[in-house]
Structure formats: C-alpha cells, structure tokens
Amino acid sequence: MKFPTHNKKLIDWVNKMARLCQPDQILWIDGSVEQKKKIEEEAIAGGEIIPLNQEKLPGCFLHRTAPDDVARTEHLTYICTKRKRDAGPNNTWMPPQSAYRKARAIFKGAMRGRTMYVIPFSMGPVGSPFSKIGVELTDSKYVVLNMLIMTRAGEAVLRQLEKDDDFTKCLHSKADLDINKRLILHFPEDNAIWSVGSGYGGNVLLGKKCLSLRIASFLGKQEGWLAEHMLIMGIEEPNGHIEYIAAAFPSACGKTNLAMLIPPEGLKRKGYRIWTVGDDIAWMRIDSDGSLWAINPETGFFGVVPGTNLQSNPNMVETIKKDTIYTNVLLEPDGTVWWEGAEGGVPSSGIDWQGRPWKPGMLDNEGRPILGAHPNSRFTTPISNCPSASFRLEQHHGVPISAIVFGGRRQRLVPLVYESFNWQHGVFIGATIASELTAAQFGKIGQVRRDPMAMLPFCGYNMADYFRHWLEMGKSMQKPPKIFQVNWFRADEKGGFLWPGFRENLRILEWILQRCDNRVGARETPLGYLPEIADIDMTGLALAQESLEKLFAIDKKGWLEELKGIKAFFRQFKKDLPAELWEEYETLHRRLLK
Ligand code: GTP
Ligand code: SPV
Ligand code: MN
C-alpha cells in the first residue's frame, strides 16, 4: 500500500501491528471534514453511534458502551517497567515481556472484518516545545471520532513527524469487549501503550490519561517538567489583568465545573471574567523567566454529564449543544438527550443508557430507581465551542501559573480553603490529599482513599520519585506558585453540603489570588494559613455564621487520626520517600499537639 508518510519507524510499526491484528484494511486519518463525515456515516450504518435531532443538536451523536464498560478499570490498568520498583507500590505492575505476551494473544486477529484506523495526533499545539506526538491504531470508529475532538489529529501531525520521528506508539482494539480479556498496558520505557477489550473513554482515548498523564509524567520526570491531572483557568480582574491558576481534584470532583464558572450574582459588580484553558490535564514547565507555565494538551472536554445544568455550569450547557458525542445518556423520543440533573423537567419516557425503554420512577429488583443516564455518562465536545474558551489556547508557551490548588471530596475534616507555608509544605499537602470515591472509577462509591495530587491512578512511575520531582521543581523556580488546598464538599451531620459550591467557589479563588500578591492577611494555624472569615467576600450569599465557622473549623483530634492514615500511606514507599515529606509530617504532628 501507499503510505502518506516517509517515516520508516512509523511505517514499520503500522505494518507490524497490522500483521498482528489482521484488519481487512488500513485507513490513515487526515483530519479532513470529508473523511470525518464518511466515518460518521459508516458508524451510524453500523449502529456504533446514533444521530441526534439535527435541528436541536446539530452535529451531535449518542453512543452506548457495554454495561460493564462504563468507567476506567484501574485494576486492569498496568505500568509495565522492567523493575517492579520503578512502577512503585501504587501501580499495578506487570513485567513488559509477560504483558506483551498476554496482550498479543488477545490482539491476534482481533481486527478481522474491521478497518484499522491510523490516527496521528499531537498533544499540545503542533510544533510547540511543550507538545508530544502519538499515533493511535484502533478498530473503533467511536475512538476516531472522539480523538478528532480531543486532540489535534491528521495531516499536520504527519508533517511534523517527518522532522522528528519520536512518537508514542498507541495500539487499541475493542476485540470482543470482554472484561475478562481487558488490559490497559503502559510501557513507559518503550514509549508505548496497548489497550484491549474496552470501549470506554479513559481506557481507549489513548491521548488522554494513558499518554498525557501516565506516559507524560514519566517523560516529565526525565525531561524536567510536570504532567498533571489539573484544570487551568484564567481569572480576569476588572482592570483587565488575567491571573492563571491550575487545580488538581480527583475524577468527578469538580474540575470541569470550576474551569468555566460564571461569577455569582453577588460578585458581578466586581466584573470578574473566567477564561477556560483546560478542564483535566496540565503540562507545566519552567520557562526562561524562571516561573511555571502551563498548557492544556487537549482540544476537547470529556466531561461528566449528570448534574450539568444552567445553575451548575451554564457555559457547558451552551458548549454541548453542537458537535458533541454523548456517551451513555437517556435518549428522548424527539431525538434529544436527557440526564439526571438536566435543565428542565423529567421526560415522561425515553430509552435509557442501556438501550431499554425507560419511564421516571422505575425501580430495579432491589427497589432502587433505574437511572436514565449512567452516573459516569460523558460528553465529548470541542473547547473551541465553549463561550469561555481562552484566547491563549494555541499559544506555544501556554500561560503563567500563579497558584496551584489541590482538592478532594471530604465530608469532614478538610477546611474550605487554606494555604501552605511554602512549596515543600505545599508538596506535602498535595501528596496527602484524600477523596471519597465517585462513579468515575470502579469501586465502592464514598470510600475515602489517598489520592496524591489527584494522580493516584495516573502517575506512570514510582510515586516516591514523583514527590521528589515535585520538590526539585520547586527549587528550580525563581518564583514558584503558591500552593493551596480546597474542599467544596464539607458536609453537616445530615450529609448536606455546608458550602454552596459551583460559581460561589469564585469567592475562594478571589482570596487565593489576593494571597498570591499579598493583598490580604491570614491566620496562622497548625494546618497552614487560613482566611479570616471577614476577608472572604460573602456579598449576596446568605450563609449562617454557624456554617461558616464549621467550614473553617480545625478538628485537631480528627487530624491526628488522619495522620495515622498518612503515615501508613507514606510507609509503603519505604526508603524511597523523600525525607522532606517525613519532616513535614513530623512538624504538622508537633503543631497539632501544641
Ligand atoms: P473528571 O472529568 O472525571 O476528571 O471530573 P471533574 O473533576 O472534571 O469533575 P466535574 O467538574 O465534572 O464534577 C463532577 C461532579 O461534581 C458533578 O456531579 C458536579 O455536580 C459535582 N460538583 C462540581 N463542583 C462542585 C461544587 O463546587 N460543589 C459540589 N457540591 N459539587 C460539585
Ligand atoms: C477521569 O476519570 O478523571 C476522567 C475521565 O477525566 S476518563 O477520561 O475516563 O479518565
Ligand atoms: Mn479527569
């Protein structure tokens, strides 16, 4: 066949993988509108996607995954380094040899009767010093259509590969979507990813978590930069000045919602405006000015659908009206879609996310309501359609970061916001955040687990080395960003949220920015700097004084308990854990006992 590239490494690899998977044909994705249309038509004909009402939702489609393939399967996700030590205690490890052998048996002939698509893609603007190139081979049209939204894919990337033949080799096949033959394998030392047996987002859009976090974090350690599970947003102040922050929260803990918030009524008079750079991944490097700069390597949002409405996220409601692929939501009779927590009323009937007739109030065998949309149903939508999209998305050097924010979902203990004493203490805070599990990962919802920097499922190497890398990055900067922790999810005794969250979170971001340029004081506590309640602008928010006090209360006994969990977590790393983190642990312990 004729190849649209001269890159011999690429041609040889495509041929080799085709011999393994045995597709009927190979098609190179060029990024053209015509080719995309053709693939859409074929995907419709084959039932892989359902076109939605094109008058109300132009360019939108619905896709349903298998009922056991609706979230990332962390227990089937492996880091395959030669030495087990290099994957660390928090990753599931398999030696590369046996991983390749196991997977090869599943990939063998898996694409028979199918087309193998070759998707050349760039994470980050093509040609930027931040960017990395990948090539994904897949037998899924759904993956192709999603990758065209989430990444810069096609011709321009192939041209870039003529100059520089370094790329991440990404192989994916749905095979027979059997959970017992599902493997998501990362080979950081070979710059390769093999994923088989799944059709769900994070498992198969290999540019996302697999390349941009697991492989990229490994590369970042070697090359001196950071790949993080963070949103990036710009906050424009009334004088026109824009400050950028990056924030890491675990899956389904509010990154997308925060990244594009609209200021609350009470703060409108101040004239703030939010610019969205990214909602999930940040690549950050130290630029020639000695400060930290970030890009979002993606071009789309793969966001949680349920709960998206005009109250929670008006910018997203606008964004997903066109050019959007919906996965696992309810189909209404008029060809539109619905989900729990959508705008407007509940439809009187529809087809649920599993393709079954649905009516409100239906119960399953155990008497629980049958949901119209899966709790982890998702939309894939271009950032360029978002009304708050930053004008700096294509800039090759990204945006300068003033503050780094860590957060989790904690009903108790963690205050609404506090600031670290310094970078090292900030790294300790990031390394010890914990969160309650959500529907974004298989597991028991609500259970608290430690999720350092929200990277537990995404760090492609030993987390002890990752912490050391964070400490070193801080030393290499002239003016490192300040580090904060937030918790939007603190609850009262009945489990109700004490803080209204969503757009009201801007009030906390305002305090954070004021701290960044020393415009406001703070209270020194054992945990770090806490705000004086009076310094947070509460105009237009009727929050009982009692709730406010609870939001900032420090439960010393509770924290001493928490330290036990932290100790157990740190101990897993044995001698590899940087001494600085034990030092922070000890000083926090002492401060709490005082
Ligand atoms: P991933 O895409 O999985 O990485 O998730 P994410 O971090 O982008 O989470 P997202 O913004 O999609 O929010 C997930 C859930 O958290 C939604 O159901 C929201 O309703 C809820 N949520 C977001 N922000 C807030 C908040 O400030 N307060 C409360 N109580 N809930 C929130
Ligand atoms: C997450 O789970 O953090 C996501 C969704 O952003 S997925 O791409 O499936 O990982
Ligand atoms: Mn995420």
Same domain for 513 and 438: yes
Question: Is residue 1, in this structure, part of any structural domain at all?
Answer: no
Same domain for 375 and 442: no
Same domain for 348 and 199: no
pLDDT value of position 312: 95
pLDDT value of position 439: 73
Q: Within 10 Å of residue 583's Cβ, how many Cβ atoms?
A: 13
Helix (H) or strand (E) holding 583: helix 579-593
Backbone angles phi, psi at 174, to 5 degrees: -65, -25
Same domain for 431 and 370: no
Q: Are 24 and 115 in contact (CB under 8 A)?
A: yes
Q: Which residues surround ligand 3, an ion (CB under 5 A)?
A: 251, 280
pLDDT value of position 2: 73
Query: Per-residue confidence at 443, pLDDT binned at 50, 70, 90?
Result: low
Question: Is residue 2, in this structure, part of any structural domain at all?
Answer: no
HSE at residue 404, side-chain half, CA atoms within 13 A, is: 30
Domain that holds residue 181: 8-30+72-223
pLDDT value of position 349: 98
Q: What percent of the chain has pLDDT over 70?
A: 99
Q: Which of 282, 267, 271 is nearest to 233 (CA)?
A: 282
Q: Are 405 and 233 in contact (CB under 8 A)?
A: no
Question: Is residue 107, in this structure, part of any structural domain at all?
Answer: yes
Same domain for 261 and 244: yes
Q: Are strands 330-331 and 399-407 parallel, antiparallel or unpaired?
A: unpaired
Rounded CA-CA distance 491/450 in Å is: 19
List the catalytic residue out of 21, 60, 253, 386.
Answer: 253
pLDDT value of position 319: 98
Low-confidence winner among 113-127, 181-195, 431-445, 507-521 (lowest mean pLDDT): 431-445
pLDDT, mean of residues 161-186: 96
CATH number of residue 450's parent domain: 3.90.228.20
User: What confidence tens digit (pLDDT) does each residue in 280-303 have?
Assistant: 999 999 999 999 999 999 999 999
Q: Are strands 417-419 and 399-407 parallel, antiparallel or unpaired?
A: unpaired
With the most atoms of ligand 1 within 8 angstroms of its CB, the residue from 261, 304, 436, 455 to mutate is 304
Same domain for 264 and 134: no
Rounded CA-CA distance 155/28 in Å is: 9
- Report the greatest alpha carbon distance in the chain: 74
- Clarify whether 253 is annotated catalytic: yes
CA 389–ligand 1 middle distance (angstroms) = 19
Question: Is residue 219, in this structure, part of any structural domain at all?
Answer: yes
Residue 323 zone, left/alpha/beta (φ > 0; ψ -120 to 50; rest): left
pTM, to two decimals = 0.97
pLDDT value of position 1: 62
Ligand with the closest atom to the CA of 457 = 2
- The yes-or-no verdict on residue 150 having pLDDT over 80 is yes
Same domain for 566 and 427: yes
* Both structure tokens of 563: 């330290």
- Residue finishing a domain among 223, 248, 264: 223
* Both structure tokens of 560: 């001493």
Q: Are 424 and 155 in contact (CB under 8 A)?
A: no
- The yes-or-no verdict on residue 395 having pLDDT over 70 is yes
Question: Is residue 544, in this structure, part of any structural domain at all?
Answer: yes
Q: Which amino acid residue places its CA nearest to atom 5 of ligand 2?
A: 202
Rounded CA-CA distance 111/91 in Å is: 29
Cα 344–436–471 angle (5° rounding)?
120
* Both structure tokens of 183: 């493997």
E-strand ranges in 466-588 read 482-486, 523-524, 529-530
What is the side-by-side strand order in the sheet with 350-351? 337-338, 330-331, 350-351, 357-358
Question: Which numbered atom of ligand 1 lies nearest the CA of 304?
Answer: 12
DSSP reduced 3-state for 511: helix
Task: Name, in order, each residue with C-beta under 8 angstroms of 175's C-beta and a sequence gap of 6 or more.
Answer: 106, 107, 110, 181, 196, 197
Instruction: Indicate if ligand 1 lies below 6 Å from the C-beta of 298.
Output: no
- Residue finishing a domain among 321, 353, 385: 385
With the most atoms of ligand 1 within 8 angstroms of its CB, the residue from 203, 209, 256 to mutate is 256
CA 258–ligand 1 middle distance (angstroms) = 8
With the most atoms of ligand 1 within 8 angstroms of its CB, the residue from 253, 260, 453 to mutate is 253
Rounded CA Rg of the chain: 24
- What's the count of helices (H) and strands (E) in the chain, helices before strands? 16, 31
pLDDT value of position 444: 67
Same domain for 190 and 252: no
HSE at residue 124, side-chain half, CA atoms within 13 A, is: 23
Task: Give how many domains the chain has, as a whole number.
Answer: 3
CA 377–ligand 2 middle distance (angstroms) = 11
Instruction: Indicate if ligand 2 lies below 6 Å from the C-beta of 515.
Output: no
Q: Which of 54, 212, 188 is nearest to 123 (CA)?
A: 212
CATH number of residue 95's parent domain: 3.40.449.10
- The yes-or-no verdict on residue 107 having pLDDT over 90 is yes
Instruction: Indicate if ligand 1 lies below 6 Å from the C-beta of 488.
Output: yes
CATH number of residue 58's parent domain: 2.170.8.10
Question: Is residue 282, in this structure, part of any structural domain at all?
Answer: yes
3-state helix, strand, coil in the chain (%, to 5): 35, 25, 45
pLDDT, mean of residues 179-203: 98
Same domain for 339 and 216: no
Same domain for 77 and 119: yes
Q: Within 10 Å of residue 84's Cβ, how many Cβ atoms?
A: 14
Same domain for 245 and 151: no
Question: Is residue 46, in this structure, part of any structural domain at all?
Answer: no
Question: Is residue 43, in this structure, part of any structural domain at all?
Answer: no
Same domain for 480 and 346: no
Classify each residue of 257-273 as buried b or exposed e, where b means 16 or more C-beta atoms within 10 Å of its C-beta: bbbbbbbbebbeeeebe
Q: Which of 221, 5, 322, 588 is nearest to 15 (CA)?
A: 5
Instruction: Give bridge partners of residue 77 from the DSSP assignment.
Output: 184
CA 440–ligand 2 middle distance (angstroms) = 7
- Residue finishing a domain among 202, 223, 244: 223
Query: Per-residue confidence at 476, pLDDT binned at 50, 70, 90?
Result: very high
